[in-house]
Amino acid sequence: MAPLVPSSQPWVEKYRPRQVKDVAHQEEVVRVLTTTLQTADLPHMLFYGPPGTGKTTTALAIAYQLYGPELYKSRVLELNASDDRGINVVRTKIKDFAAVAVGSARKGGYPCPPYKIIILDEADSMTEDAQNALRRTMETYSKVTRFFFICNYISRIIEPLASRCAKFRFKPLSEEVMSNRILHICNEEGLSLDAQALATLSTISNGDLRRAITYLQSAARLFGSSISSTDLISVSGAIPEDVVKSLLASCKSGEFDVANKEVNNIIADGYPVSQLISQFLDVIVNADDIPDEQKARICKKLGEADKCLVDGADEYLQLLDVASETIRALFDMPQTLVF
Amino acid sequence: MLWVDKYRPKTLDKVTVHDQVAQNLKKLVAEQDCPHLLFYGPSGSGKKTLVMALIKQMFGAGADKVKMENKTWKIDTGSRNIEIELAMLSSAHHVEMNPSDAGFQDRYVVQEVIKEMAKNRPIDAKGKRAFKVLVLNEVDKLSREAQHSLRRTMEKYSASCRLILCCNSSSKVTEAVRSRCLNVRVNAPSEDQIVQVLEFIGKKENLQLPFGFAARIAAQSNRNLRRAILFFETCKVQQYPFTSNQVAPPLDWEQYVSEIAADIMKEQSPKRLFAVRQKFYELLVNCIPPESILKKLLAELLKKLDSDLKHEICHWAAHYEHKMRLGSKAIFHLEAFVAKFMSIYKEFLVSTFG
């Protein structure tokens, strides 16, 4: 009989904190919530912040600490962007769930307060009509139901909803916090990570702990238990620094055809251009030999190109336009031809 | 059978151009579990080949027995009923489809097909894998809403359904989806690698390749292996034994765009613009993607222009292509680009030659 190979769970889920106090370094949020949990009288809540900072984790941990495993399924409704979020869902599913009152039976030592929780994850993708329809529901059933909204941008939540909620901002995680968490996971999984790889992981994940853990797990799968900087860069989709530098060098040559050839090579190598623009911006801003006026011109063009890419424009044309404008800026050529 | 299909590697061990990637994938699926994967890279670089070889590595020979079916979903959103029909390739272990073919309804397709696969547990649960694989092609063409739908759905049902996403560029895949997948970059092969593949095929087909012939085809293909192999076969059909200076004929639509470029360089007048419009309509009704037309046109124009003009023209090409992406009638933007080019070029000629 062959030994049963255990199915490896994603580490993002495996190491997700189960208690509110374990959520890493969102001190203000954790302190307020811990106090509030003792009284078990929660307001409606709005969690917002960048991705991978613990918003969903905190919401689930609160629900778990209030109800425990037995009542969790019946007392907590979780909706995501993957479910239909139109006005129809608000009128039916959410209202039906919110309208039913609950008893105060206590199970297994958990507080089990006499209300239910509806978690609306990724609330910023709800339509405005759906958000408006929610206002009355929130007020009418506030005795028996509490709403948790989770989003990346608080500006996408309409003001009437936001004003009914206690707001909690989740900060991007600092490098030190991220490093501690990553090292803990490395110890548990038997990985070795040198200091440079650790710094690289923090850099490429930009304060997003979920991304960092995913990269770490991917690199461990592909490259075994000893992981280097290069391994992390290759699984993350970040672009090697020499590629960005060679693009800048081709622009400094002043020849359009040289830059065009370099752009063609970058596209053929499959590097994502939005990532390249982001890294190119860093290189331009940190360059010592470029005057401020030239930097301003190039950065303006990079911003425009980024917007065009988000709209779905072609990558080759946008990158060529960026390279062309960089050449013109570096050599102080006019932005528009005059004859 | 076309050589491009005949000589496609069927297993990860036979992959030659991306052997490092293939070995990594082999190591990845050696364990019982496999993460969601995102393959990205330019077209013709071998993404699909790697995906099919990977599925065969995971499931064995059963993955080759595929059938094409047109499936219809009826979805009740409460306010209205939606009916969507889509073609998909399926075997006992995996399903392959292009959800963007459904247009703006792609979000429902994405959700429903994953939920359906999750409901139907694998036929032989004691077999190699406890999950099925869903291959989604052209993920970068999915709408934002569909990609949002994808993110949670792929998490929820990951125990029974693994996704392999294919796209040309990961820029248009939302960060949330990218961070839930293992990203595999498949770069276009270098010209040397293409030459190697062409020589391999030539040997298999017992063909004599003159010196430099394979290199010329590789240069002509723009690092697109599919084009290179098709060019190679076209040369064989056209003229064998190969002559020392034989060149593959360009594609019809590319020849047509070259003519357009020559036309607008020769004369800049409303009458010429009208004639060019007819040519654009001809290309569009033959289902050439408008962005391909614009890029090819730009490439042809850049060959004939001064350096100063090159900067200007590539800016306007990027500008009008962006507008084209936001609008719905491509002919407006293609014609606007040509009009702008004519205006700039004529002004340049007048100021230069009087």
Q: What pLDDT does B126 receive?
A: 46
Query: Does pLDDT of B271 surpass 80?
Result: yes
Q: Are residues B59 and B135 in the same domain?
A: yes
**Among A10, A317, A333, beta carbon nearest to B321:** A317
* SS3 of residue B134 by DSSP: strand
Q: What pLDDT does A247 receive?
A: 92
What tokens were used for B136? 């989604």
Q: Chain B closest CA to A38's CA: distance in Å?
A: 31
Write out the H or E segment, with its range, that includes residue B13: none
Q: Are residues B229 and B269 in the same domain?
A: no
- Cβ distance of B321 and A314 shorter than 8 Å: yes
Name the range with the highest mean pLDDT among A111-115, B46-50, B319-323: B319-323
A175-189 and A209-223 helices, crossing angle to 10°: 40
Q: Are residues B208 and B291 in the same domain?
A: no
User: DSSP assignment of B255-316, as one string?
Assistant: HHHHHHHHHHHH--SHHHHHHHHHHHHHHHHTT--HHHHHHHHHHHHHTTS-HHHHHHHHHH
Query: Does pLDDT of B342 surpass 90?
Result: yes
- Give the model confidence (pLDDT) of B174-207 as tens digits: 877 877 788 888 889 998 899 989 988 998 888 8
Query: Does pLDDT of B275 surpass 60?
Result: yes
Which sequence spans correspond to the domains of chain A? 9-167, 173-234, 239-329
Q: In this structure, what DSSP letter does residue A273 have?
A: H
Q: What pLDDT does A25 receive?
A: 58
Asked if A256 and A324 count as a contact pair (C-beta separation under 8 A), the reply is yes
Q: Chain A closest CA to B186's CA: distance in Å?
A: 7
| B244 occurs within a structural domain | no
Domain A239-329 has CATH 1.20.272.10: yes
Alpha helical stretches, state H, A43-94:
55-75, 87-89
Q: What pLDDT does A336 receive?
A: 67
Q: Are residues B35 and B144 in the same domain?
A: yes
Asked if B214 and B182 count as a contact pair (C-beta separation under 8 A), the reply is no
Q: Give the residue on B whose Cα is nearest the Cα of A211.
A: B179
Q: Are residues B300 and B159 in the same domain?
A: no
How remote is the C-alpha of B351 from its chain's centroid? 42
Percentage above 90 pLDDT, chain B: 17
pLDDT mean over A221-239: 78
- Give the model confidence (pLDDT) of A164-222 as tens digits: 888 888 878 777 777 887 888 888 888 888 787 888 888 778 778 877 887 888 788 67
Rounded to an integer, what distance in angstroms lies between the CA atom of residue A118 and that of residue A97?
A: 8
**Among B32, B151, B322, beta carbon nearest to A311:** B322
CATH value at residue B152: 3.40.50.300
Would you place residue B124 in the very low, low, confident or very high pLDDT band (cuts 50, 70, 90)? low
- Give the model confidence (pLDDT) of A10-59 as tens digits: 787 778 776 776 766 577 687 788 787 777 677 888 889 888 888 888 88
Would you place residue B304 in the very low, low, confident or very high pLDDT band (cuts 50, 70, 90)? confident
Q: Chain A closest CA to B308's CA: distance in Å?
A: 8
Those residues whose C-beta lies under 8 Å from the C-beta of residue A92, and which sit 6 or more positions away, are B78
- Cβ distance of A317 and B295 shorter than 8 Å: yes
Percentage above 90 pLDDT, chain A: 12
Query: Does pLDDT of B105 surpass 80?
Result: no
Buried b (16+ CB within 10 A) or exposed e, A11-49: bbeeebeeebeebbbbeebbeebeebbeeeebebbbbbb
Q: Provide the phi-psi class of B94: left if phi over 0, else alpha when psi is between -120 and 50, else beta.
A: beta
A56 is in an annotated binding site: no
What one-letter code names the amino acid at A181? Answer: R
Cis peptide before B35, with omega less than 30 degrees from 0? Answer: no
Chain B neighbors of A327, CB-CB under 8 A:
311
Rounded to an integer, what distance in angstroms lies between the CA atom of residue A207 and that of residue A50?
A: 8
Q: What pLDDT does A32 receive?
A: 82
Q: Which CATH number fits domain A173-234: 2.40.420.20, 1.10.8.60, 3.40.190.10, 2.60.120.10?
A: 1.10.8.60
Average pLDDT, chain B: 82
Buried b (16+ CB within 10 A) or exposed e, A158-167: eeebbebbee
Q: What pLDDT does A295 receive?
A: 92
Q: Are residues B28 and B106 in the same domain?
A: yes
Q: What pLDDT does A190 receive?
A: 84
Beta strands B81-90 and B67-76, pairing class: antiparallel
Domain boundaries, position B11: 3-185
Those residues whose C-beta lies under 8 Å from the C-beta of residue A324, and which sit 6 or more positions away, are A256, A259, B310, B311, B314, B315
Q: What pLDDT does A2 receive?
A: 31
Query: Does pLDDT of A1 surpass 90?
Result: no
Rounded to an integer, what distance in angstroms lies between the CA atom of residue A201 and that of residue A195?
A: 10
- Give the model confidence (pLDDT) of A46-65 as tens digits: 889 888 888 888 888 888 77
Buried b (16+ CB within 10 A) or exposed e, B155-185: eebbeebbbbbbbbbbbbbbbbbbbbbbbbb
Q: Chain B closest CA to A137's CA: distance in Å?
A: 19
Q: Look up the CATH architecture of domain A9-167.
A: 3-Layer(aba) Sandwich (3.40)
Q: Which residue has the higher pLDDT, B336 or A135?
A: B336
- Cβ distance of B312 and A10 shorter than 8 Å: no
A50 is in an annotated binding site: yes
**Among A222, A274, A327, beta carbon nearest to B24:** A222
- Cβ distance of A270 and B186 shorter than 8 Å: yes
Chain A neighbors of B29, CB-CB under 8 A:
none
Q: Are residues B166 and B308 in the same domain?
A: no
Asked if B86 and B70 count as a contact pair (C-beta separation under 8 A), the reply is yes
